[in-house]
């Protein structure tokens, strides 16, 4: 699963990425984030067929199951066409989530690791989004990050990883004209392990209140089995 990630680039770097790849001119306030947790606001990108848009959205897809509110932070790519909740979103409510790293915890000691692209660049994770109407009629937009099986690099750390889409598949994923569920699922592959790296980090990441640079610094795990 993907339970934490980072977006520790400057506003200028984020703005340049969104403009260079999607011709999006941003108008939101942003500061670097080192430990993004569920329920927090994240940057999502959507496409309506005419223009790409970006904005802040809640991480955690809000829905009602058996008359109870439930928040879903991850969706397994293998079950998107099997679960009634996800299938309509797969066909019509796809998004990208902007990040530059994510965290996974290695058993048996739950040692946290920071995972990123070797060139330390920004990347986009595949997601599903929706608008949820609360009891007071207020509407909130929220999303879940899609996961797939881990690549060979990530497998020793965790069996799952977020779906990272390359430049070409970003556009294919967001294309609203694409309504073939099987074709969309085929885009959700493990990112090439040759382009990724990771290292252990401090248990400080376990507390979502901790959001500072030391969270993503390499941590000496000598003596930890």
Write the burial class of residue 109 (CB in 10 Å: 0-12 exposed, 13-18 middle, 19+ buried): exposed
Residue carrying the six token digits 């848009």: 53
**Is 104 noted as a catalytic residue in this protein?**
yes
Contact 158, 148 (CB under 8 A): no
Instruction: Determine the Cα–Cα distance for residues 95 and 127; give it in Å rounded to an integer.
Output: 5
Contacts of 222 (CB under 8 A, 6+ apart): none
CA distances 170 to 36, 104, 166, Å, are 22, 23, 6
Find the Cα–Cα–Cα–Cα dihedral 175, 180, 185, 189, rounded to 10°: -60
Catalytic site residue from 2, 77, 115, 143: 2
Catalytic residue among 62, 77, 95, 104: 104
Q: Is 115 a catalytic residue?
A: no
Query: Which two three-digit tokens encode residue 32?
Result: 């670097």
> Hey, which residues does 131 pair with through a beta bridge?
141
Which residues form the catalytic set? 2, 104
């Amino acid at each position: 699963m993907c339970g934490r990630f980072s977006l520790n680039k400057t506003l200028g770097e984020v703005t340049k990425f969104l403009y260079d790849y999607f011709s999006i001119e941003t108008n939101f306030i942003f500061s670097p984030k080192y430990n993004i947790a569920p329920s927090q606001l994240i940057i999502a990108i959507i496409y309506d067929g005419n223009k790409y848009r970006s904005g802040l959205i809640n991480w955690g897809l809000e829905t009602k199951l058996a008359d109870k509110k439930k928040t879903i932070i991850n969706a397994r790519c293998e079950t998107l066409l099997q679960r009634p909740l996800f299938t309509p979103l797969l066909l019509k409510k796809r998004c990208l989530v902007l990040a530059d790293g994510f965290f996974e915890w290695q058993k048996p000691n739950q040692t946290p690791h920071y995972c990123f692209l070797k060139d330390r660049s920004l990347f986009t994770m595949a997601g599903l989004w929706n608008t949820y109407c609360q009891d007071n009629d207020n509407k909130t937009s929220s999303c879940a990050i899609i996961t797939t099986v881990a690549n060979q690099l990530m497998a020793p750390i965790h069996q799952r990883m977020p779906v990272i889409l390359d430049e070409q598949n970003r556009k294919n994923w967001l294309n609203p004209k694409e309504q073939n569920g099987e074709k969309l699922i085929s885009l959700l592959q493990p990112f090439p392990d040759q382009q990724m790296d990771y290292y252990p980090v401090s248990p400080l990441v376990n507390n979502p209140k901790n959001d500072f640079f030391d969270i993503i610094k390499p941590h000496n795990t000598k003596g930890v089995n």
